[in-house]
Amino acid sequence: MIRHDYSRVEPKRRANLSHKKKQFAKAEFQEQNYEHRLNFYILPPTAEITLEEFEQWAINRLKVLSELEACTFRNKSPEETAEYMKSILDKYMPMRAGTSKSQYLQEERKKDHYSHFILRLAFAATEDLRRRFSRLETMLFQLRFKDDDFIERQSFVRSLNLEWDEVQEAEKRELKDRLLAAAGGSMKNSDEQEWFKVDWERVPVLVEQRRVFVKRGKAYVPQREQMSLVVAEFTKKLDEALELTSRALPRLDEDDRLAPILAHLSQSFTAPDAAYSSSDANIDGLSAINANSIDTLSQNFPLCMRVLHNTLRENSHLKHFGRLQYTLFLKGIGLSLEECILFWRKSFKLMTDDKFTKEYRYNIRHAYGDVGGDSNRRGRGYTPYSCQKLLTEPLPGPGQTHGCPYRTFTPDNLISTLQRVGVNERDVLKTVREDVGKQRYHVACNRVFEWSHKKEIKKVKDDGSWSATDLDTIVHPNTYFKRSWLLKHLGEGNTGIVPGGSGDRMEE
Ligand code: SF4
């Protein structure tokens, strides 16, 4: 389904394809028509897409799934999750109802279909990834199912041919009392709605919660519980498909176009990747940053950068990887090259000018793209590191302080570091400890952010000046800074600005 400038089949060989293979190839490139907004993803995609579409659609879906996962980590109720996810879905995977008659319907549904299958490939490799993917996809399906137009939803359910037996009128009358008893007294008459008979194993949750009547191995499910039935079926089919995909995966390793993209996507389950957006350097209301302002601004830095800043202040020195991480971050918040050189020169106060110029100045200029590098990077230098990069690089050695402290510090050391920067609420620290124990490092960081800015977040939510995507999960240290600064300076001439979510315009 991938189209690219180069093909793995040489033109000469292609001409000799057998009759059967040609037939198969023709069938492979059919455009599909998407009749429904909801999809059980039974048929794999067959049309061509470019490698860029392949990657971008998958990244957008991943963003949606990871925001859903973040909702469960933060124990949001189903209503809060639906509310929060609305604008995330509108931004990354809009899916209009058929009644909207939008000209984008087919395109939106196609992206949904393809991105599901791409992530299926990326997350089929291990049991753990499969389980997570299945759980999040089920949540997404359920969210859309609830939100779907009633008539379209019914038409979709009918199209599934799920082999449910409709309970006939005579049987309904015969079992009336038992059906109503199982329905919990909320229904006056069993004629009020349709009932279905299914094998009880297909609705274990309803049986466990005694919300259905069971007779001779069949559960009698009222139509209002239809969602449980459909969702259980969705999960069952997806789990089976993931098993099959995992067995087919070794063959994909041979594809040198897809393997690196899929590897990158599955890594993004640690923390979704976000490339640096230059909008993070344009902060309305923040006057030009210079070498002297960094101490004050460090109050708004994420822990990874605060640790580097504090180490630099304590030792008047920082090791190579820490310097690089911090330089790129400072560049990303808008510090000019000249001011950055001045900042490091002043910070390395125990060092002679000569030594600084010989050993350190060049590396700073290099990071900014002022010298060295290939012609592509010249003038731009390197991009500030994302959380994903910091969370997946090799652990720092003795004396090094780069990386993400939520991952690199021991839990006790992390908690005392957080206390030193003012995070002193016992419950928050306890949950952070649990988060890092489960390797949910960026979730812990977001939890600390939310706690440290809770008053301000409440304000922008209450007055509606920021949307849910403006407050989505932070996955880039530069987004952390920008959002923190804006929130802490509300009402100082920066209200009404769009703060720029972590998934904004991507730039390498
Ligand atoms: Fe920095 Fe990201 Fe770690 Fe937070 S999660 S401390 S922003 S690397």
Q: Is residue 274 lining ligand 1, measured as CB closer than 6 Å?
A: no
Q: Is residue 303 lining ligand 1, measured as CB closer than 6 Å?
A: yes
Q: Is residue 443 lining ligand 1, measured as CB closer than 6 Å?
A: no
> Which residue's alpha carbon is at the smallest distance from atom 7 of ligand 1?
477
Q: What is the pLDDT of residue 30?
A: 60
Nearest to 386 by CA among 468, 321, 479: 479
User: Contact, 118 vs 110, CB < 8 A?
Assistant: no
Strands (E), 136-217: 165-166, 195-199, 213-215
Q: Is residue 477 lining ligand 1, measured as CB closer than 6 Å?
A: yes
Domains and CATH numbers, the chain: 51-158+236-270 (1.20.930.80), 163-226 (no CATH), 278-489 (no CATH)
Q: Which numbered atom of ligand 1 lies nearest the CA of 390?
A: 8
Q: Which residues are annotated as a binding site?
A: 304, 387, 404, 445
- Choose one of 298, 303, 481 to mutate for the ligand 1 pocket test, by most ligand atoms within 8 angstroms of C-beta: 303
Residue partners of 24: CB distance under 8 A and separation at least 6: none
Nearest to 474 by CA among 439, 452, 496, 449: 449
> Which residue's alpha carbon is at the smallest distance from atom 4 of ligand 1?
445
Q: Is residue 304 lining ligand 1, measured as CB closer than 6 Å?
A: yes
Q: Which residues are annotated as a binding site for [4Fe-4S] cluster?
A: 304, 387, 404, 445
Flag whether the pTM goes above 0.95. Answer: no
Instruction: Report how many helices (DSSP H) and strands (DSSP E) the chain contains, helices first.
Output: 25, 6
DSSP three-state, residue 424: coil
User: Contact, 411 vs 433, CB < 8 A?
Assistant: yes
CA of 412 to the centre of ligand 1 (A): 18
- CB neighbours of residue 233 within 10 Å: 19
Q: Is residue 387 lining ligand 1, measured as CB closer than 6 Å?
A: yes
Q: Is residue 302 lining ligand 1, measured as CB closer than 6 Å?
A: yes
User: Contact, 138 vs 40, CB < 8 A?
Assistant: no
pLDDT in tens, the chain (508 residues): 554 433 344 444 444 545 445 444 444 456 678 999 999 999 988 888 888 898 899 989 998 998 898 888 777 888 989 999 998 999 999 998 888 888 899 999 999 999 999 999 888 888 888 998 999 999 999 999 998 888 888 889 888 887 778 888 888 888 888 888 887 765 655 555 678 888 888 888 888 888 889 999 999 988 778 888 899 889 999 999 999 988 877 666 666 777 777 777 776 665 656 666 767 777 777 878 999 999 999 999 999 999 999 999 999 999 999 999 999 999 999 999 999 999 999 999 999 999 999 999 999 999 998 887 655 555 567 889 999 889 888 999 988 999 999 999 999 999 999 999 999 999 999 999 999 999 899 999 999 999 999 999 999 999 999 988 889 889 899 999 999 999 999 977 654 444 444 433 333 3
What residue has token string 């200029």?
365
Q: What is the pLDDT of residue 275?
A: 63
Q: Which numbered atom of ligand 1 lies nearest the CA of 441?
A: 5
Q: Is residue 404 lining ligand 1, measured as CB closer than 6 Å?
A: yes
Q: Is residue 441 lining ligand 1, measured as CB closer than 6 Å?
A: yes
Q: Is residue 442 lining ligand 1, measured as CB closer than 6 Å?
A: yes
Q: What would the two tokens of residue 212 be? A: 């259905």
Residue partners of 380: CB distance under 8 A and separation at least 6: 369
> Which residue's alpha carbon is at the smallest distance from atom 5 of ligand 1?
442
Q: What would the two tokens of residue 95 be? A: 């899916």
Q: Which numbered atom of ligand 1 lies nearest the CA of 480?
A: 7
CA-angle at 264, arms to 258 and 266, nearest 5°? 100
> Which residue's alpha carbon is at the smallest distance from atom 1 of ligand 1?
304
Q: What is the pLDDT of residue 378?
A: 56
Instruction: Say how far residue 32 (Cα) sits from the centre of its chain.
Output: 27
- Is the torsion defined by CA of 60, 62, 65, 71 positive or negative? negative
Q: What is the pLDDT of residue 505?
A: 33
Q: What is the pLDDT of residue 294?
A: 96
In total, the chain counts a number of residues equal to: 508
Q: Give the span between the Cα atoms of 277 and 499, in whole angstroms.
A: 12
Instruction: Say how far residue 178 (Cα) sits from the centre of its chain.
Output: 45
Q: What is the pLDDT of residue 465?
A: 92
Q: Which numbered atom of ligand 1 lies nearest the CA of 305?
A: 1
Q: Is residue 307 lining ligand 1, measured as CB closer than 6 Å?
A: no
Q: Is residue 432 lining ligand 1, measured as CB closer than 6 Å?
A: no
> Which residue's alpha carbon is at the smallest distance from atom 3 of ligand 1?
404
CA of 395 to the centre of ligand 1 (A): 14
DSSP three-state, residue 318: coil
